[in-house]
Amino acid sequence: MRSYLILGMCTLFIIQYFAGAVWLQYVVVLLSLMAFLGSAGKADRIPRLLGLFMMSAGIIIEWNKGTGVAGISEGIFLILPLLSLITLAPLLAIPLRLGGYFKSVSRLLYNLLHHPQKLYAGITGTLFIVSPILNLGSVRIINEFLEDLKLPSVMSAKSYIVGFSTALMWSPYFASVSLVLHYLHVPFKDYVIYGMGISILSLVVGNVFFVIWEKRNPIAKEQTTIQRMEKKHRKKLMELILFVILLMIMCLFIESLTKWSMIVIVCLISIFVPLIFIAVTFKWKQAKPLWVDFRDRAVPMMNNEIMLFMSAGMLAFALKGTNVMNGVSQFLKVLANQSFFLFALAVLLIVFCLTYIGIHQIAVVGALAMQLNPAELGINSIALAFILLLTWYISTALSPFSGLNLMVSRFSHLSGVQVGLRINGLYILTVVTIGVAAISFL
């Protein structure tokens, strides 16, 4: 029942986006609140407590601002695009599973077991390709391929963080990029070259760091029988790369043609691409179990995401225009007028400190994106978006409360602090330093 409620919320949001009916907005908000309350009892303890705290704080702050029910409704409605995106984007895994692409990825990684550095490059490279459309599901799938191989915990922690985090900076299918660009009104086509550049650079840096680490901490090479990659598997891997490129081209083309919100475009693509793939390949029968699994397992399992995203969005909206945020905005404005580097450093530290103690990135970065005015800061919107996405990148990789860190901790059997600061801290610091220097120069 809850899955129909969540899917109904997403469907009505898309309809409301095009219809623009005020009454329908209130219906969607009501459905989202019902979904939030329904998820509260099913969510994990930490996300439930954080979610209830942020939602309560957001409602109280917004009510004290004098906006009443209308303000609270607007705050919740602003985060619905993001909830729709994270709910519907996993549908893109259906054509990948039906097409047999994951089997080819598994074969590739198996053939690299004898060479740790090549295996690491294979893991991070695969995540670089599939994470932009599968989100955290990509880490889960790669771990399923590798869990029987008993890789060293440090290697798992490094490869998962490095490979997945590259997508945080550029993929329109990610909450980070969609939210920041949406609030700053930056077209994806104007930003993508910068995001893709730092993502590729971070992938290269991550692999260089691993080569250095592996030479100091040699890993026993697996004795495996190397099998030549069959032509069909090589073909599937090329098709997988082309599939991801095609999705991004579709996003850019539709955005340029229609000027629709990128989040809405991604939601529509997530729905129609699987349907078109199934219709073209005539795999309706094989697809049915995957649709049922999405409806009955994947959607109901989003309790933690619904709790955290909706409450963080409400808190971010409520903080806009408060004395605290006005003070922060004025402080950052002074720094920006003195030095872009000091401004960037201050934003990075503020977001990192708040997210490290459990405040979700959406609340902190979202509040800054809604509060800061690029013109007043004396910088362009793309530079501000880049800095905010760098802060999201840091907090996702290093905060022990982030979904990525929690998942990697579980898979590698290490603590969140070990996965973040101890194992990947220097790598993240290097990428961020390069990123800030590059955007300052540009």
- Residue 344 maps to a domain: yes
The verdict on 116 and 253 lying in the same domain is yes
Please check whether residues 259 and 307 belong to one and the same domain. no
Domain that holds residue 202: 93-282
Domain-ending residue, one of 224, 255, 282: 282
Question: 230 and 125 share a domain?
Answer: yes
Do 99 and 242 reside in the same domain of the chain?
yes
Query: Is 186 part of a structural domain of the chain?
Result: yes
The total number of residues written for the chain in this structure? 442
- SS3 of 401, please? coil
- Span 147-163, mean pLDDT? 87
SS3 labels along 127-178: HHHHHHHHCCHHHHHHHHHHHHHCCCHHHHHHHHHHHHHHHHHCCCCCHHHH
Average of per-residue pLDDT across 75-93:
88
Q: Does 406 share its domain with 314? A: yes
Q: State residue 98 phi and psi, 5-degree precision.
A: -65, -30
Whether residue 295 is contained in a domain is answered as no
Q: How many domains does the chain have?
A: 2
- Which tops the pLDDT comparison, 41 or 327? 327
Say yes or no to pLDDT of 267 above 60.
yes
Residue 287 lies in a domain: no
Q: How many whole angstroms separate alpha carbon 276 and alpha carbon 367?
A: 38
| Residue 374 C-alpha from the chain's centroid | 24
- Range with lowest mean pLDDT among 53-57, 94-98, 229-233, 380-384: 229-233
Residue entry with tokens 């080569």: 211
pLDDT tens across 271-296, in order? 999 999 999 988 999 999 999 988 88
21 and 97 both lie in a single domain: no
- What pLDDT does 220 receive? 64
**pLDDT value of position 298:** 83
Q: Using an 8 Å Cβ cutoff, are 361 and 312 in contact?
A: yes
Do 327 and 416 lie in a common domain? Answer: yes
What value does the mean pLDDT of the chain take? Answer: 89
Claim to verify: residue 121 and residue 180 sit in the same structural domain: yes
pLDDT at 164 over 60: yes
Taking residues 167-176, report their average pLDDT. 90
Among 253, 282, 311, the domain boundary falls at: 282
pLDDT for 228: 65
C-beta separation of 420 from 399 below 8 A: yes
Tell me whether residue 46 is in a domain. yes
Q: Are residues 142 and 243 in the same domain?
A: yes
The verdict on residue 431 lying in a domain is: yes
Longest dimension (CA), the chain: 69
Per residue in 201-230, pLDDT (tens digit) is 999 999 999 999 998 888 766 555 555 667
pLDDT above 70 coverage of the chain, percent: 97
Q: Is residue 178 part of a domain?
A: yes
Q: Which two tokens stand for residue 44?
A: 């994990």
CA angle 391, 300, 131 (to 5 degrees): 40
Tell me: do 120 and 191 sit in the same domain.
yes
Residues 163 and 310 in one domain: no
Average pLDDT over residues 57-71: 90
Instruction: Answer whether residue 330 shows pLDDT above 90.
Output: yes
- pLDDT value of position 108: 83
In a domain, 290, yes or no: no
For residues 363 and 416, state if they share a domain.
Answer: yes
Q: How would residue 16 be classed by pLDDT, with cut points 50, 70 and 90?
A: very high
